[in-house]
Structure 1
Amino acid sequence: MEGERQQAFRAHLLARLEELAAGEALGRGGKKVVELDQQSVGRLSRMDALQSQAMAQAASRMRLAEERRIRAALARLDEGEFGFCTDCGEEIAAARLEQEPAVALCMSCARG
């Protein structure tokens, strides 16, 4: 893969990392411990807060997983292995990389 396309992929991956960091910063408030004092918060409000907390925690886990995939893709870029399947070594289709630059598997290996 030519250097110019690699730099474009790198820029895209780094920009996505910044977006994930910003999303994590915004989501921190939603992960706070929910008060169990029914005097200050009604039962239904507390249940709603618990559900919101669980959703914020799940979103945080998804951001962390995506961050790991992006960092692995950046490492592959540094090692000159970007664009090749990590299982079989075949080249990953350009359209697949354009859609998701952090992808590590070709379609054949992804399907199993």
Structure 2
Amino acid sequence: MKNEQKEKFRRHITDKIQSLKKDIISYKELTRPIAPDNAIGRISRMEAINSKSINEEALRKTENSLVKLEHALKIIDDEDFGICIECDDPIPFARLMILPETNLCVVCAEKLTG
């Protein structure tokens, strides 16, 4: 990967990390415990609990993505960064921009996922 591509990639990851951190704050707010409240009906309470569960899953996925992006940012200067771990071919820059945390080229990813 060329140096200018690395810098563009580094900025891209940094921007995504900042965005994910903001999302995590929002999800944490949305996943706070739901206090029993007589002012809302039974159905509204059930909807709130369901919404909380959905937001908890979104929080887990976002936190997982954050960990992967932070890892990608740490290893961006490694000589084997951007190289497929299966076939040792370079991962296209466009793919890395879409999936910065990937360590597989498209062909190998398709083989592994079937």
TM-score by length of 2: 0.85
State whether structure 2 residue 22 is matched by structure 1 residue 22.
yes
Of all paired residues, the percent bearing the same amino acid is 29
Give the C-alpha shift of residue 86 in structure 1: 2.6
Which structure is higher in RCO with an 8 Å CA cutoff and minimum separation 6?
A: 2
TM-score by length of 1: 0.86
Matches for 1:88-99 after TM superposition, within 5 Å = 88-99=87-98
- Kindly indicate whether the alpha-carbon contact (under 8 Å) linking 1:13 and 1:101 is maintained by their aligned counterparts in 2: yes
Give the C-alpha shift of residue 83 in structure 1: 1.1
Give the C-alpha shift of residue 92 in structure 1: 0.7
Matches for 1:1-112 after TM superposition, within 5 Å = 1-37=1-37, 39-111=38-110, 112=112
Structure 1: 4+ residue segments shifted above 6 A: none
Give the C-alpha shift of residue 82 in structure 1: 1.9
- Kindly indicate whether the alpha-carbon contact (under 8 Å) linking 1:35 and 1:46 is maintained by their aligned counterparts in 2: no
Equivalent residue of 2:76, what SS? helix
Q: Give the Cα separation in 2 of the matches to 1:103 and 1:82.
A: 10
Count of aligned positions:
111
Q: Give the Cα separation in 1 of the matches to 2:90 and 2:75.
A: 13
Which whole-Å deviations, capped at 9, do the CAs of 1:27-57 have from their partners, x for residues lacking one?
Answer: 22211112245x3432111101101101110
Equivalent residue of 2:86, what SS? coil
Equivalent residue of 1:78, what SS? coil
**Where does structure 1 lack aligned partners over 5 or more consecutive residues?**
none
Equivalent residue of 2:87, what SS? coil
Query: Could you say what the CA RMSD is over the residues aligned between the two structures, in angstroms?
Result: 1.7
